[in-house]
Amino acid sequence: MVALGQDRDRLGEVPRHQLSILERMDVQVALEPVAADLVVDALIGYSLRGDPRGRIAELIAWTNRQPVPVCSLDVPSGLDATTGEKRDPCVRARATVTLALPNAGLTGAPETVGELYLADISIPPAAYSRLGIRVGPIFASGPILRLV
């Protein structure tokens, strides 16, 4: 079950496209979140500017009240991915799965990030090299790596 958290008419182009993919996959979509065995947090990523407000703040508060594990995708909503500054409200995840390389802000907030995992999204090593980043074969042992 996926909860939109807002009216689908207010979604931007990319979220609308992602929603259409879920609907074609017959994933149930609801306006409001429902009880579940796991909450996947993907409300805010890099676009955080200041404290979460409005509906996003309500959904973060709802997430933190749930008696089940929370897994954040890329960065817990409400945490600044660059600085690690926790905004109010901020998701408290049991685990965070970040992509390609970890954001600097994830290392300074273990009580918010929980266990930190790095997932391979198939960025070719040459792309890192062109950016002057030396990473080595970090995914040689598998597509997901536990960092902390």
Pairing status of strand 29-30 against strand 39-41: unpaired
Phi then psi for 15, rounded to 5 degrees? -60, -35
SS3 3: strand
- Model confidence pLDDT, tens digit, residues 1-51: 777 766 778 888 888 898 899 889 998 888 889 889 999 999 887 677 889
Would residue 53 count as lying in a domain?
yes
Provide CB contacts within 8 A for 57, sequence distance 6+. 51, 89
Q: Tell whether the model's pLDDT for residue 141 goes beyond 70.
A: yes
pTM of the entire predicted model: 0.86
Q: In sequence order, which ranges of 25-145 are alpha helices (DSSP H)?
A: 54-65, 110-113, 125-130
pLDDT of amino acid 86? 94
111 pLDDT band, cuts 50/70/90, is very high
Range of the domain at 105: 35-146
Is residue 30 situated within a structural domain?
A: no
- Look at residue 20 and tell me if it is in a domain: no
Helix (H) or strand (E) holding 73: strand 70-73
Task: Give the confidence band of 108 by pLDDT, cuts at 50, 70, 90.
Answer: confident
Q: Is 27 within the bounds of a domain?
A: no
In a domain, 93, yes or no: yes
CATH classification of the domain holding 93: 3.40.50.10260
Length in residues, the chain: 148
Task: Count how many domains the chain has.
Answer: 1
